[in-house]
Amino acid sequence: MITVENVSKSFPSAESAVTALRDVNLAVNAGSLFGIVGPAQAGKTTLARCVALRERPDRGTVRYDGMDTSRLAGRRLWGAQRQVAIVDPVLRPERTVAGNIAAPLERMGVELDRRRSRVGVLLDVIGLSRSGARLPSELTPGQQRRVAVARALAAAPSVLLADEPTDGVGAEESASVLSVLDRARAELGATVIVTSRDADIAKRICDEVALLDRGSVVESGTLLSLLGKPGSQLAEVLLPSVDTPRAHLSSYDRAVDVVLVGFAAVGALLPEASARFDVGFTTIGGGLTRLGDTPVARFRLGVEGQRADAALAWIAERGAHVSTPMYGLRDVAA
């Protein structure tokens, strides 16, 4: 596990110092796919570089499995830095795909047979098994990025860091780049950290996420835990909007927002509650999305029936996130 404890970082500038990170605390679990998301200049790259030990915090510390890295220097620092590989998107144009991936292994003096076998595994992970002999110029931008990821994985780092992994890659190819990051975690066992201005990346592959703004962590945790958190900014961005015209609310005495996670909940919970408690649910806003492979729904529901409270408590007991009911909607809309 990597823990970031009270980390602050400023950079000198012509007028006054720029504060990139303010008292940041985070925990990145081993084997997770962790997203650091937030607007431009939020401090994402600086935080990622501090985690990768490429930048020293002014205050606070980064711990690797409890070890305080701020005390490391010389060979021990270099050894810790080598555990975290950073994806460098610039490939060497004169070398083949296989040659690019093998380059870090050559520098380490790994013998030819082991190099070949490792490159073979990585070509398979990035879905380019037949392209080892091609030059980067013969590849699409998305394929080139996948090769850059494979090169970063060559020396089997325990942590892979990808800063804006899909920048410069077209929308149609970004899914293939993200799925390679997911395979790096699932098949090679790496902890993967991605930074992105696009929170949608978190929705597509991350299981844990931190939202950064102006150098501070606004919220962090597993994606699924944030979905049910009242006022979560990430949930607001990632889930279908429940904004509804007031007129749509006017037929109901009460409405609630409900978040349902997983196939069973999305498919069955509301019809079952409706039948059990003789309560009517009408969808007046929201919709379905996916977090990775998990279907997630957020609906604004008009609720009618004498046992409405019991029905809502029943679905909440079964894992649905249910907002505080909004009452008196007929009056509001009138």
Ligand X SMILES: Nc1ncnc2c1ncn2[C@@H]1O[C@H](COP(=O)(O)OP(=O)(O)OP(=O)(O)O)[C@@H](O)[C@H]1O
Please, what is the minimum distance in Å from the beta carbon of residue 199 to ligand X? Answer: 12
Residue 44 touching ligand X (CB under 6 A):
yes
* Angle, helices 141-153/97-107, rounded to nearest 10 degrees: 20
Please, what is the minimum distance in Å from the beta carbon of residue 41 to ligand X? Answer: 4
Query: What does the alpha-carbon distance between residue 322 and residue 275 come to, in Å, rounded to a whole number?
Result: 18
Residue 41 touching ligand X (CB under 6 A):
yes
Candidate ranges 37-45, 168-176, 216-224, 230-238; the one touching ligand X (CB under 6 A): 37-45
Please, what is the minimum distance in Å from the beta carbon of residue 56 to ligand X? Answer: 12
Site for ligand X in 204-243 (CB under 6 A): none
Residue 333 touching ligand X (CB under 6 A):
no
Please, what is the minimum distance in Å from the beta carbon of residue 86 to ligand X? Answer: 13
Residue 43 touching ligand X (CB under 6 A):
yes
Candidate ranges 40-48, 79-87, 147-155, 237-245; the one touching ligand X (CB under 6 A): 40-48
Instruction: Compute how many residues bind ligand X; rule: CB under 6 A.
Output: 12
Site for ligand X in 2-21 (CB under 6 A): 11, 18, 20
Please, what is the minimum distance in Å from the beta carbon of residue 46 to ligand X? Answer: 3
CB under 8 Å to 47, separation ≥6 — which residues? 4, 7, 21, 24, 26, 36, 195, 212
Return the number of the residue (13 or 324) whose C-beta is nearest ligand X: 13
Element (H, E) at 205: helix 199-205
Please, what is the minimum distance in Å from the beta carbon of residue 223 to ligand X? Answer: 20
DSSP-assigned states of every residue in 103-163: HHHHHTT--HHHHHHHHHHHHHHTT-GGGTTS-GGGS-HHHHHHHHHHHHHTT--SEEEEE
CB under 8 Å to 218, separation ≥6 — which residues? 38, 211, 212, 233
Applying CB under 6 A, among 32, 46, 69, 143 the residue interacting with ligand X is 46
Query: What does the alpha-carbon distance between residue 121 and residue 7 come to, in Å, rounded to a whole number?
Result: 37
Applying CB under 6 A, among 3, 8, 29, 45 the residue interacting with ligand X is 45
Element (H, E) at 209: strand 208-213
Candidate ranges 39-47, 118-126, 182-190, 272-280; the one touching ligand X (CB under 6 A): 39-47
Return the number of the residue (41 or 158) whose C-beta is nearest ligand X: 41
Return the number of the residue (38 or 165) whose C-beta is nearest ligand X: 38
Closest CA to 163 of 241, 52, 66, 25: 52
Query: What does the alpha-carbon distance between residue 177 and residue 144 come to, in Å, rounded to a whole number?
Result: 9
Residue 40 touching ligand X (CB under 6 A):
yes
Please, what is the minimum distance in Å from the beta carbon of residue 318 to ligand X? Answer: 39
In this structure, how many other beta carbons lie within 10 angstroms of the beta carbon of residue 78?
Answer: 11
Strands 191-196 and 159-163: parallel
Please, what is the minimum distance in Å from the beta carbon of residue 43 to ligand X? Answer: 4
**Residue ranges that bind ligand X, judged by CB under 6 A:** 11, 18, 20, 38, 40-46, 197
